[in-house]
């Protein structure tokens, strides 16, 4: 009988929680581990409202090798891992590169070593668009374009991609890498959303904070980029589309394993996919969309450019469509509407939030 038990690392966070919901609703048994350093325990309660299913949760830090090993010992039927655990704020990684190298890479090494020791060799890994050489490439970026990073966060993700490639080549791991572009906003239920403990590092949450008058004005990081209106262009994709891409990646590995049982050829898989839309929006365009959705003015000011920012970051997602049979089902406008509906539903809670401060 096929095993359907999956370990998800750091799943009470943003993309992670949405992905867990998709897998649980598809009748997989999910075991989750999170150290709650940048997420909230009540997310688990909200997920239970969506799925009505018992969920096994471990509050552990996967930098602790022995604590992680105990999870694998107590759950010998784990056969798959979806690895999200990583610090991900670009600005923070530039301020403290060592923190990102120490955390992101050590987390992954501990996880991979435990997987190897327990003969678990199937993994879907959360990577990022910032592994591409965005300073020299002409967008949209394809999976086989040149890789080169502009910040420590991206470098740690690229390092982990190389680690998984080596594990596939030399230890017969089946690894699928998903390079996200810019996931945005909330589950349509309004129960899970982007809600870190600390200051959010992404554009869209700040746009809505300004719309709600929690922050006086938005800061646009310079307006002289080589784009239509001078502001940076990004490929925004609904977070639920990103979450569902993990199901497709999981199915890709399953199909590969079945094909090897028949063909008896190559014994491992290493593959990678862009998860984006092929359609970029400038910062000003996102402000305009949010203004239409919320029917509110969103004032902004121009702030200094940051060293790691690039003009355009857009995906060519054709490979995901062809191989994973996966393409976005929701528009940017729908994502912004889900954000508005979430804000309206939780307005009083958000007004009391400790993250209600200016970036």
Annotated catalytic residues are 153
Pair type for strands 233-234 and 281-282: antiparallel
3-state secondary structure 264-311: CCCCCEEEEEEECCCCCEEHHHHHHHHHHHHCCCCCEEEECCCCCCCC
Distances (CA, A) of 140 to 148, 272, 281: 15, 16, 13
For the beta carbon of residue 1, count every other beta carbon within 10 angstroms.
3
CA dihedral 135, 138, 142, 143 (to 10 degrees): -30
- Closest among 165, 121, 343 to 271, alpha carbons compared: 165
Q: Residues near 84 by Cβ (< 8 Å), separated by ≥ 6?
A: 8, 9, 10, 11, 13, 15, 16, 19, 126
| Tokens 């997420």, residue located | 39
Three-state secondary structure call for residue 184: strand
Q: Is the peptide bond between 140 and the residue preceding it cis, with omega within 30 degrees of 0?
A: yes
């Amino acid at each position: 009988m096929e095993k359907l038990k999956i370990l998800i690392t750091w799943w009470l966070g943003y993309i992670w929680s949405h992905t867990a919901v998709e897998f649980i609703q598809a009748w997989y048994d999910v075991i989750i581990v999170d150290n709650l350093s940048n997420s909230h325990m009540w997310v688990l309660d909200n997920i239970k409202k969506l799925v009505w299913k018992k969920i096994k949760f471990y509050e552990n830090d996967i930098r602790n090798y022995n604590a992680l090993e105990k999870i694998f010992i107590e759950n010998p039927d784990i056969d798959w891992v979806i690895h999200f655990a990583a610090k991900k704020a670009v600005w923070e990684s530039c301020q403290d590169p060592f923190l990102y190298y120490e955390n992101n890479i050590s987390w992954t090494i501990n996880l991979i070593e435990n997987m190897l020791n327990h003969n678990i060799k199937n993994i879907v890994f959360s990577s990022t668009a910032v592994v591409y050489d965005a300073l020299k490439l002409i967008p949209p970026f394809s999976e086989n374009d040149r890789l080169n990073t502009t910040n420590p966060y991206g470098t740690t993700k690229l390092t982990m991609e190389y680690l998984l490639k080596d594990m596939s080549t030399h230890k017969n791991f089946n690894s699928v890498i998903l390079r996200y572009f810019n996931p945005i906003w909330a589950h349509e239920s309004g129960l899970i959303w982007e809600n870190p403990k600390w200051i959010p590092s992404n554009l869209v949450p700040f746009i809505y904070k300004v719309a709600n008058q929690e922050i006086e004005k938005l800061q646009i990081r310079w307006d002289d980029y080589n784009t239509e209106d001078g502001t940076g262009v990004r490929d925004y994709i609904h977070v639920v589309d990103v979450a569902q891409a993990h199901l497709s990646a999981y199915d890709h590995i399953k199909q590969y394993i079945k094909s090897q049982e028949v063909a008896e050829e190559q014994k491992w898989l290493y593959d990678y996919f862009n998860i984006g839309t092929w359609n970029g929006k400038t910062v000003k365009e996102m402000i305009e969309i949010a203004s239409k959705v919320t029917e509110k003015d969103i004032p902004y000011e121009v702030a200094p450019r940051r060293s790691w920012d690039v003009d355009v970051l857009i995906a060519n997602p054709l490979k995901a469509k062809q191989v994973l049979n996966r393409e976005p089902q929701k528009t940017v406008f729908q994502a912004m509407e889900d954000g508005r509906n979430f804000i309206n539903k939780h307005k009083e809670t958000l007004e009391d939030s400790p993250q209600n401060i200016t970036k």
